[in-house]
Every structure is written in structure tokens, then in C-alpha cells.
Chain A
């Protein structure tokens, strides 16, 4: 059963084409990871799916009444805005203390309820964002570089938690990540994006695909490969701009 489907999606920022003819389909309960170099449109794709970016062409079809839990890439809450974790979790609809507590437990942030959001560390902050997304009992969890600012073991733990959540809640997960080696292990399906869908499939299939190797090199050190790849694959016509990490 398809939860969300994008067909022939194109997005432009001004005159720059960020996404071109992207088609994807997320089925219930699967973990799909989008990988791609900086500026490849990963975040834009997620933001288009939640309706934050205007699409130029194509369409997005959601299952009726689809409940999406969205964990944004980075969210800066400055010290001018006082807000406790408890209040943040009840942002749009009042949440019972018990539900808030159990969401924090699930996200691995049990002890943070009364803390100020601006005092949290990067990892704690992401967990609270995850807890907030879980409160809506989502069928689809969308995470945009959720482990930014976490060290390697921290992000490995985070992804393990996502996998456990998928098992316990039965929700599908769509996420974007830079950390190829970590993500590859946790995903059912990987979509390699570079303005367009370069290749997709099971992690091991994608890892050995020539398009993927052209982008990331053949080593497992994906982060290193991001520096090295030189955008010389000419199998598509559009003039997508790349930036190195």
C-alpha cells in the first residue's frame, strides 16, 4: 500500500532547477533513505513532500488522511523564546502528560520534560523533535538529516532507535542522510539523488550501481567520497549545480 507518491516532480528555485522529474513511492512500513551530495535537492524533496516548497511540475499523491511526523533538518530556538520541552510537545494540540512522557521515552529523551529547549544539546534536541513527531501517531516519519551534529556513535544509536520505532509503531520512514555507511545498514531501500533519481533499490544494489559510484566513489567512507567525487557523470541533460561538502 502506497502512503505517498511523487510523480515527475520538478522544483525550481528561481531559474535553478533543483529537482527534475523525480518519481518515488513510499509503501507502508518501509525505511527509505535518500542519499546524495550537498545541493542535490534531498531536503528540497522532503520539503516538497510536506508542502513547504512549491512544485513546478508533477504531482504528489498522499494516502487519504495520511499522518506524517516530520523531523526538520535544523531548528534553532534562540534564548529569546522561553519554551519547555513539555510545552513544545503540546505545540499544536494539547497532549496528555502521559502521552508526552511515553513519546519522550520512545525517542530516548525521558528525562528532558522540564528542560528549556534552548538549553538542550544537539542530540537531545533531535530526540525531542523525534518525540514530537511521534505524538501524532504517524504512519510516515520523515527525517531530514536528523543526526546533524551528532558524532558517529550518537548517530548510529539514533538510527538504531528509528529502526526499533519502525518495528514497534509500524510506521514507514523516509529520511535523508549524509552518513552512507550507517544509513545503508538500516534501510530497506536507498534512493540516490542528484537533482534527479540516479539510482534506487536495496542498499547493496545501490552501493554497487555505477551511478552511485560515480557520485560517492567505491569506498565505504561516504563522507570522504563526498569530497572526492567530481561530478563528471554526463548521463543527464540538465545543468544542475553541485557544491562539494
Chain B
């Protein structure tokens, strides 16, 4: 496994793994209008980082626990007098603020918050890589397994009930998948840009897809291209890696949107 000795190779593989898991999940985030949910989960994960540091456990575990807790809290309180976005705003920003305060109170630990906010893909270790791919494969497997049920629940909860599918369970599946993706993506693009990695490839894929599956494949392709290409561009021009990946994804989005506009005006 000599090729893993190169930090660039590890970084590329890490980016690829996260992009491939984020793309199909991102499609559901777009279809179900959960963009803010993704954003909120990512922000809340700062609290997970603080907890992980203070208990000296892995960042991955800390973030996963906080992200799952947030998803669970939101599902318990939603529909009880608060709109979803209000609830998410309260929980996510509280978690973010508490996390930032907690990090500053940690004694004897000097941490580079930037690495968590914007990612540190070039510092991915072999263990990180194993965790990232483990989490990514788990998310992909979960989505493949529940694909049709998730799609039905997304189209109409009542259709799902009539077919014997519990939409609340499918929502839970998405929450778990989202928590996993956030946990593995922190190292790659950082807390602030995880939602972008979910949404932008899916949005860029939309104009060229006529079925949900095609949109997911296209999004995966665009995500993977952005991850690998962004990494190379960042290396070439000495720019921060996470933001460069997102810039490339945004460029893809701009291109597919312009192509759609041109196609629309021709016909």
C-alpha cells in the first residue's frame, strides 16, 4: 500500500470518498428541502468537536453523537408549535455557540479552529482515510438499501403509509446518513462548507437528469470531479483546499445552469 504514503494520494482518496457519499444524500437534501437541516447539522458539529477534545475521544465519534442528537431533538420538537427552520436555527446556533465557548475553556489544548471550520484535507492520515471510507460506504449502502422507500416517502408520506412504509423511519435513515456524512466530511471541507458539498453537486446535476437515479449518479460524478480537481488546483495555486473544491463545484453549477438557459432559449 505504498501509494498511501503520499499525502496527496490520501487527500484525493479522502475527497473522493466524501464526495461519493455526499452526492446521493445531497439529492435527497435538495428534493426534501433539507438544505438548512444539513447546514444546521454541520454547524452543531462544532459542539461535537469540543466534546471530543475534552473527553479525548475521536472527533468522528463526538461529531456523530452530536449530529444524531440534533436530528433526534429536531424530530421530537418539530410540529409542536415551532416551524422547522426556527427549531433548527435555535438548536444549531446554540450548539455552535456552546461548542465555541467550550473549545475556548478547554485547558492546555491549543487547537486550530480553522482546520475544523475549513477542513484540513492534506493532513488526512491512514486512520482518517479508513474512517472516511468506512463512513462513506456505510452511507452509500444505507441509501441503496432504502432508496425506493426513501423516494416514496419523499414524494408523498401518505403514499408511503399506504405502501406500508413509515416515513418517519425513512426520515431517521436520512438523519443518520447526514450525521455520518458530516462526521466524515469535517476533515475534508470543514464545518462551514459541508452543506455546500451536499447541495451544489446535486443542484448542478439537476438540469441533465430525467430520473432520480440519474441525478444521483451525475451528482456523484460532479462531486468526485470537484474533489479531485479542486485538490489539484489548490496544490497548483496554493489556495485552501476545501474552498477550492467548493469553488470548482460552484463552477460546474454555473456551467450547467448556463447551458440549460441556452438550451431553453433555443427551443
Chain A residues in the interface with B (C-beta under 8 A): 47, 50-52, 68, 70, 72-73, 75, 77-78, 80-84, 87-88, 91-92, 116, 142
Further contacts, 20 of them, CB under 8 A, given A81-B212, A91-B152, A92-B163: A47-B158, A50-B158, A51-B161, A51-B164, A52-B157, A52-B158, A72-B156, A72-B159, A81-B155, A82-B209, A82-B215, A83-B211, A84-B210, A87-B211, A87-B212, A91-B148, A91-B151, A92-B152, A116-B210, A142-B162
**Which residue of chain A has the shortest Cβ distance to B212 in the bound complex?**
A83
Whether B31 and A80, one on each chain, are in contact in the complex, defined by CB atoms closer than 8 angstroms, is: yes
**Which residue of chain A has the shortest Cβ distance to B161 in the bound complex?**
A52
Interface on chain A toward B: helix, strand, loop, or mixed SS?
A: loop
For residue A50, which residues in chain B have a CB less than 8 angstroms away from its CB?
158, 161-162
Chain B residues in the interface with A (C-beta under 8 A): 30-31, 33, 148-149, 151-152, 154-159, 161-164, 206, 209-215
A16 to chain B, nearest CB (A): 14
**Which residue of chain A has the shortest Cβ distance to B163 in the bound complex?**
A92
| 17 intermolecular pairs with C-beta atoms under 8 Å apart | A51-B162, A51-B164, A52-B157, A52-B158, A68-B162, A72-B158, A75-B156, A75-B159, A77-B155, A81-B31, A82-B209, A82-B210, A82-B214, A91-B151, A92-B148, A92-B152, A116-B210
Give CA–CA (A83, B206) in the complex, Å.
11
Give CA–CA (A82, B213) in the complex, Å.
9
For residue A75, which residues in chain B have a CB less than 8 angstroms away from its CB?
155-156, 159
For residue B158, which residues in chain A have a CB less than 8 angstroms away from its CB?
47, 50, 52, 70, 72-73
Give CA–CA (A129, B148) in the complex, Å.
17
For residue B210, which residues in chain A have a CB less than 8 angstroms away from its CB?
82, 84, 116
**Which residue of chain A has the shortest Cβ distance to B208 in the bound complex?**
A82
Whether B211 and A70, one on each chain, are in contact in the complex, defined by CB atoms closer than 8 angstroms, is: no
For residue A116, which residues in chain B have a CB less than 8 angstroms away from its CB?
210
Partner of B159, one of A70, A82, A84: A70
Candidate in A70, A75, A91 with the most chain B CB atoms within 10 angstroms: A91
**Which residue of chain B has the shortest Cβ distance to A129 in the bound complex?**
B159
Whether A47 and B152, one on each chain, are in contact in the complex, defined by CB atoms closer than 8 angstroms, is: no
For residue B156, which residues in chain A have a CB less than 8 angstroms away from its CB?
72, 75
Whether B211 and A82, one on each chain, are in contact in the complex, defined by CB atoms closer than 8 angstroms, is: yes
Whether A82 and B206, one on each chain, are in contact in the complex, defined by CB atoms closer than 8 angstroms, is: yes
A170 to chain B, nearest CB (A): 20
For residue B152, which residues in chain A have a CB less than 8 angstroms away from its CB?
91-92
**Which residue of chain A has the shortest Cβ distance to B166 in the bound complex?**
A51
